[in-house]
Each structure stands twice: as structure tokens, then as C-alpha cells.
Amino acid sequence: MAFLTKRKKQSGRYYIRWLDKGKVKMISTREKSYQKALEFFDRWRAGKGEVIDINYTLLNLFEKRLDFIKLNYKESTYKLYASTFKNYLSFFSNRLLIKVLPEDLETYKKLRNVSKTTINMEVRVLKATFKYACSKNTKMLLDNPFDEIKQFPVPEKKKVYISDQEVNLILDHVKNPIVKEVIIHAVNTGMRREEILELRYKDISLENKTMDIVETKTNSIRTIPLSTQLYEQIFRHFYDEHGCLRLYNPEDKLYNISGDYVTHTFKKIIRKLNLPDQYRFHSLRHTAITNLLRNSGNVYISMEIAGHKSIKTTQIYLHNIRDEVRAAVNSLSIK
């Protein structure tokens, strides 16, 4: 990332500063005027065969990025980006993109009075946004000023696991049959709540006993097999008790119910049964992934079913099966 910096010791002249293979390099513009220094900076970059419009601002970038996010990602992602941009602009007024410095994001990290987890999420958004600004299709910047900025180190939390006995107890107290089916679906697949509730008839293949899942975080599609229990549950949505095919619209959702209602009902039952308060509907995903690891003994299978992009994410769940890991290590003993 090359940018302009003013050096008071050198008679207030502006210098171009950049990193080359980890080493700081500088060249003088020989100009005291910021505007003339910018012109030199532009000519310098043009000489490298890279020309950009130096008049783009933060607002120009944020608005363009939001338009892209709105078209290609979920509404929740759009809201995250919009709130991050709003928060960032509350600390830094609108400015030219070429004036944005790495120190700006470091300052933002220090001044933002929220949890480190929240700050890390916003840092990822801002880094991705400036990377987007440098893309060949966007061409608003040559280099990402935030490329080298690190997130706060945050220790991974142990994934909450709900035992089979507790899951059955919860199911015994569910009165709404659709909520009950959604819970069974969650523990049989490890799918996120929205992935389950967005599932449509067209996504199911009874012949192949598989379903296509549109991932809530990335909008990509993964295909996973149906367990016997889940196959029988879903079969009843397609065929009645006499084996006759039901009339349905392939575009219709399999479970026509509100996500908030499912979450509220689940939490209400947890409190009624005096189960640990940290149990959430999302804990069913953790439970399913843990069971996959326990029963398959294969991290890669579990990773594929869960839709994790990194095996490191899946490996976190090994904390929930310490006894199995210990038994595996003990099996290495020489007999």
C-alpha cells in the first residue's frame, strides 16, 4: 500500500511511502502543497502502469459495496455491512480513499467501545471492503490500506453440547409439531436455523436421499445426505399416509414457520425444564457436529456436512469428545 505522508523534518514536504517485501521505502514528491503532491503521486502510480481516479471517497466505496452486498448476500449480511460503515464514519468523516491510512483502522479498534468479538467482525468487514476497492472490476484503489491489520486475539469458546437425553426431553415438551420437526431436522443435519427454514421442496431429492442447502453466510450450495429419521420425516411432506403424492409447489418452504417463533419456543422450553441457560437453538448445530465427530471419527466428513470452510473450525468440536480422543490415543499403546 503506497500513500502520502508529510515529513516536518524535511521542510514539510510530502513523501510517498510504501512497503516492498516487508521493507519501508520512500520517495520525495518535493512538494509542500498537498494538491501538488497528489498530482505527483498520481503520475508516479501512472508510471507504474496503474491509473485510478484519485477523487473516490469513503462514501463512494461504502455505497458501491452495499449495492453489491444487497444483490449477492443475505439481508443479515447487508445489515452488518451497513452498521459497520455507519460506525466507522462516526469516527472518521468522509475523506478521499487515497488518504485512508492503516493507522485509521488501528485507531478505530482502540476507540470502539464494544467487545473484541464485535470489533473483529467489523475489522473483517472493512478489510474485505477495501480489498473489494482494489479489485480489477472496481479499481477505486491500488492497494488495501488495511491488508496488514490484525484482529484482536480472542480465545475460542467451547461449543455448547446438548446430550441426547436432554434433546429427547425437550422434544417431549414441544407442543407445536412444526417446531418439533425443525428441532429433529437440526440435530440430524447440523444445519443453521435459517438454512432449515429456507429449505424448499425443490431442494429435496427423495430418490437420492439428499438435500441442497443454500448456506446463510456465503450463499453457496452444499449437498448433504438425509439420515433415515429425517428421510422418514420429510417423506411425509411429499406423501400422505396412503402413499399418495401430496400437491405442493416446488418453490414452497418445507417448514412454514417464523424463525423468531422457533427460537422463542425453544428458549421457553429450556427455562421451563431448568436446563442450562446457555442452551440456544444454535446449540443443536453444535450438538449435531459433535455427534458427527463422535460417530464417524472423521473430521473431514464432519467438516463437509457442517459446511465449514476451514478444518480448524471443525477441530474446535473435538473438545466435546475428550473421552473419545483419549481412547483413540490409548489405542496407540504397544500390546
Q: Residues 149-193: pLDDT tens digits?
A: 999 987 767 778 899 999 999 999 999 999 999 999 999 998 999
Are residue 186 and residue 271 in the same domain, yes or no? yes
Is the alpha carbon torsion for 64, 66, 70, 73 positive or negative?
positive
Are residue 127 and residue 258 in the same domain, yes or no? no
Structural domain includes residue 298: yes
- Please name the residues in contact with 73: beta carbons below 8 A apart, sequence gap of 6 or more: 219
* Domain coverage including residue 18: 3-47
Are residue 242 and residue 322 in the same domain, yes or no? yes
Structural domain includes residue 118: yes
Are residue 182 and residue 256 in the same domain, yes or no? yes
Are residue 171 and residue 246 in the same domain, yes or no? yes
* Span of 29-33, 62-66, 133-137, 226-230 with lowest mean pLDDT: 29-33
Picking from 215, 230, 227, the residue whose alpha carbon sits closest to that of residue 308 is: 215
pLDDT given for residue 329 in this prediction: 44
Are residue 203 and residue 316 in the same domain, yes or no? yes
Task: Report pLDDT digits (tens) over 257-292.
Answer: 999 999 999 999 999 999 999 999 999 998 988 888
Are residue 71 and residue 20 in the same domain, yes or no? no
**What amino acid is encoded at 66 in this protein?**
L
Phi/psi of residue 169, nearest 5 degrees = -65, -40
Provide the number of structural domains found in the chain.
3
Task: Report pLDDT digits (tens) over 46-97.
Answer: 655 455 677 889 999 999 999 999 988 888 889 999 999 999 999 998 988 8
What are the cell numbers at 164? 441426547
Instruction: Give the span between the Cα atoms of 205 and 226, in whole angstroms.
Output: 9
Task: Report pLDDT digits (tens) over 21-48.
Answer: 777 778 777 788 888 888 877 777 765 5
Are residue 172 and residue 308 in the same domain, yes or no? yes
Are residue 92 and residue 237 in the same domain, yes or no? no
What are the cell numbers at 19? 512497503
Query: ∠ at Cα 158 (122, 314), nearest 5°?
Result: 80
